Amino acid sequence: MPSLLGNIFKGWADYSKGNEEGGHHDYEHMYALAIDLDLCTGCNACSTACYAENNLATVGEDKFGARQAMHWLRVERYFDEPDMDKIEETNDTDTQSRGASFLPMMCQHCNAAPCEPVCPVGATYHTVDGLNAQVYNRCIGSRYCANNCPFRVRYFNFYDNADSWPAPMDQQLNPDLSVRSKGVMEKCSMCLQRTRAARDTAKREGRELQDGDIQTACQQTCPTSAIMFGDLLDETSAISKIWKRHQVKLGVYKQDKENPELRGYRIFEELNVDTKVLYLERVREV
C-alpha cells in the first residue's frame, strides 16, 4: 500500500509546491534556444535535419493540404515588416525590395506552458531540465494541449503514418526515440535523445555536462549557425551570454531593457507563457 498511496502523497508535496511558487520546480538545467533571424537565410536545412533525426512522417500532398503534416520545425516566410522603425517608404511598393523575413518556429518549451495543465493524463509536463516533455505512451489524444498552444507547434498523428517508411526506408529510423502511432500528439523535444546521450557520456566520464556537449540537430546543420542551444542555468554558457547581452529574462511577460533597441525578443511574451526561444530581430538597410 505505501508504494502506491505514498506516491500520491509524495506527489502531492511536489504538486502543491508547484502551485505555491507559480510553477517553480527545482530545475537541474534550463535548456533554451537563441535564433538570430538576421543570419537565418530560410534555407530549410534545419527542418529537413529534424525530419531525419526525429523519425517525422511525410504525409503527402492531400494530408499536407488538410494541415495534418508533422513538421516539428517549420520555417515560416513573411513578406511584411510590421514595425520596421517608422521608415517613410511603406511596404506597398510594387516590388519586394527588402526580400522576405524567415522565422524558424518550433515548440518554445514555455516555462508556464498552457499545454501542461490541460492534459487529462499528464502526458505533457515540465521536466527538471526545463523542457516541455511529451510522453508518447501516456498520451490518449484528447488534443486539448494543441488547442491551447498559442504557437500551434503541436502536431497530432491523425493517421498511422507507417506508409511513410516503405522498406528499406524504415532502416533509417532513429532507434533512440519511438515512432509514434496514430492518436498520439508529438512536438519538438529539443532532441531529447541527444540530451540523454550527452548526459550518459558525461556520467560515464564522471564529469558535469558542459556547454556544447549537446547540439540539437537543427543547430548542428544550420549553415549560418543562426541557431544556438544551451543551458541558461550555466552562467558561462554561450546561450546565457546572448540572453544577458539582449537583456531578456525568464519569468516576466514584459522585458524592461535599459537599451530597448537591443534585438532580442520573445514571441507572444504578453501571453505570460514564458517561452524559452530568444529571437534576434532581422536587420535590413533602410
Partner 1 sequence: MATKIDRRSFLKVLGLGGAGAALAGCDMPSYATMEEGEEQVFSYLAPEEYVVPGIGVWYASTCLQCSAGCGVHGRVREGRALKLEGNPDTAVNKGKLCQMGQAALQTHYNPDRITSPRIGGKNVTWPEALAFIKEKVTGAPVWMTGSISGHQAVLLDAHLNASGGGAHYAVETINAQAWQAACADTLGDAQPNLHIDKALCVLSFGADVLGTWVSPVKFMADYGKFRAAPRGVLTVVEPAMTLSGANADHWVAARPGSEAAVALGVAQVLASEYSVSTSALPSGAADAIVAMTPERVNALSGVDAKTLSKIAETLMSNSPSLVIGDGSYETAAAAMILNLMLGNVGATITPSAELVPADLGVRSGSTKALADFAADAQAGRIGTAFITGTNPAFTAPGGLKIEDALSKIGLKVAVAMFEDETTQLCDVVLPLASSLEDWGSHVPATGAGRGEIHVQQPLMEKLHPEVLGLGDILLGLTQDAGADGLEDFEDYYGYLRTAISAMIGADFEPEWQAVLQAGKVQAPTADRSFTANGALNFNVPETKAPPAGRLSLITTARQGLFDGRHANLPWLQEAPDQISKAVWDSWAEIHPTTAAGLGLKDGDYVTITSDSGAITTRVFLYKGVHPDAIAVPMGRGHTHYGRYATGIGVNPLNLLDGTADGRTGEFLNTTSVRVQATGDNRHLVRLMDVDQQYGRKLAATISADQLRRNQGGA
Partner 2 sequence: MTAQQNPAQKHLTQEQTKDIDENIEWAKINADVLRSMENPRRGYWVAMFISVALFSVMIYAEVHQYMFGMGDAALNTSHMWDLYISTFVFWIGMSHSGTLLSAILHLVHADWRKPIYRFAEAMTTFSLLTAGIFPVIHLGRVWNFYWVMPYMSDRGLWPNFRSPLIWDAFAITAYLTSSVLFLYIGMIPDLAICRDNAKGWRKKLYTWLSLGWRGDDAQWRNFRFTYLMIACLLIPLAVSVHSIVSMDFSMSIMPGWHVTTFPPYFVAGALYSGCAAIITLFILLRYFFKFEHFMTMPILDKVCKLTFVIAMVWTYLNLVEFASVWYGHDIPSKEVLLAKASGPYSPFFWGMMFFGSVLPFALLSQWIRRNMYVLFFVSVFLNVGMWLERWMIVTPTLSLGYHPQAFNTMWPGWVEWAMVGGSFGWFGMLFLVFVKVFPSVSMYEVKEMVYHRKRTVYEDVDEMMNLHSGVPGPEPDLGSAPAPQSTGGA
Partner 3 sequence: MSPDRPKRRPFPWIRSIMAAGVVGALIVLGGQLLEQERVGGESPVTEAGPRVPGAVFPTDTFVGKDVPQPINYSHKLHAGDLGINCLYCHTYARRSKVAGIPPTSKCMGCHTIVATADEKPEIEKLTLMWESGQSPAWNKVNDMPDFVHFSHERHLQKFLFDNPDMNIEDSREVCAMCHGDMVEVGVAKKMRPLTMGFCNTCHENNDGPADCTRCHK
Q: Which of residues 144-183 bind partner 1 (CB under 8 A)?
A: 164, 166-169, 171-175
Shortest Å distance, C-beta 45 to partner 1? 4
Looking at the DSSP bridge assignments, the partners of residue 277 are 33
CA distance linking residue 68 with residue 103, whole number of Å: 20
Rule CB under 8 A: choose which of 37, 73, 119, 131 binds partner 3.
Answer: 131
- Per CB under 8 A, which of residues 154..193 are in contact with partner 3? 176-178, 189, 192-193
How many Å is the Cα radius of gyration of the chain? 20
CA distance linking residue 243 with residue 250, whole number of Å: 9
Report CA torsion sign: 87, 92, 94, 95: positive
Rule CB under 8 A: choose which of 33, 75, 188, 228 binds partner 1.
Answer: 75
Which of partner 3, partner 1, partner 2, none is residue 80 near (CB under 5 to 8 Å by kind)?
A: partner 1
Task: Establish if 76 lies at the interface with partner 2 (CB under 8 A).
Answer: yes
CA distance linking residue 37 with residue 280, whole number of Å: 6
Shortest Å distance, C-beta 42 to partner 1? 5
Which of partner 1, partner 2, partner 3, none is residue 2 near (CB under 5 to 8 Å by kind)?
A: partner 3
- Per CB under 8 A, which of residues 178..207 are in contact with partner 2? 181-185
Cα distances (angstroms) measured from residue 19 to each of 14, 15, 127, 233: 9, 7, 15, 22
Shortest Å distance, C-beta 51 to partner 1? 5
Task: Establish if 142 lies at the interface with partner 2 (CB under 8 A).
Answer: yes
- Per CB under 8 A, which of residues 15..44 are in contact with partner 1? 37-39, 41-44
Residue with cell 524592461: 256
Q: Which is nearer to partner 1, 22 or 141 (CB)?
A: 141
3-state secondary structure of 36: strand
Rule CB under 8 A: choose which of 47, 101, 157, 240 binds partner 2.
Answer: 157
Q: Is the peptide bond before 168 cis (omega within 30 degrees of 0)?
A: yes
CA 119 to chain CA mean position, Å: 18
- Single out the segment in contact with partner 1 by CB under 8 A; choices: 25-33, 78-86, 121-129, 248-256: 78-86
| Residue 135 near residue 126 (C-beta atoms within 8 A) | no
Cα distances (angstroms) measured from residue 227 to each of 104, 142, 237, 242: 9, 32, 14, 12
CA distance linking residue 100 with residue 198, whole number of Å: 37
| Residue 109 near residue 130 (C-beta atoms within 8 A) | yes
Count of residues touching partner 3 (by CB under 8 A): 26
Residues forming contacts to partner 2 in the complex (CB under 8 A) are 3-4, 7-8, 11, 15, 63, 66-69, 74, 76, 105, 114, 117-122, 138-144, 146-148, 150-152, 154-160, 181-185, 268, 271, 273
Residues forming contacts to partner 3 in the complex (CB under 8 A) are 1-4, 6-7, 125, 127-129, 131, 133, 135-138, 176-178, 189, 192-193, 196, 200, 203-204
